Amino acid sequence: MAVPKKKTSKSRRNMRRAHDALPQKQASECANCGARKISHHMCPSCGYYRGRQVLTIEVAS
């Protein structure tokens, strides 16, 4: 059974993990209301996706 000869240092371990971070999600502007939204997703503030209303958002008064 293979066993490491020496302990892997924190620096070497962290350098190996440098590419494991998740990329940030691409945000774009909603064409209907101008709010920031995730690309290819419905706008959470107005409920529109690709120019048509997909979900009715009710405003609490």
Q: Is 6 a domain residue?
A: no
Q: Is 61 a domain residue?
A: yes
Q: Is 13 a domain residue?
A: no
Q: Is 8 a domain residue?
A: no
Q: Is 1 a domain residue?
A: no
3-state secondary structure of 37: strand
Count of structural domains within the chain: 1
Give the pLDDT confidence of 7-61 residue by residue, as tens digits: 999 999 999 999 999 998 889 999 999 999 999 999 999 999 998 998 887 777 7
Q: Is 17 a domain residue?
A: no
Q: Is 37 a domain residue?
A: yes
How many Å apart are CA 12 and CA 26, to the nearest integer?
Answer: 31
User: pTM for the complete prediction?
Assistant: 0.56
Domain span including residue 34:
25-61
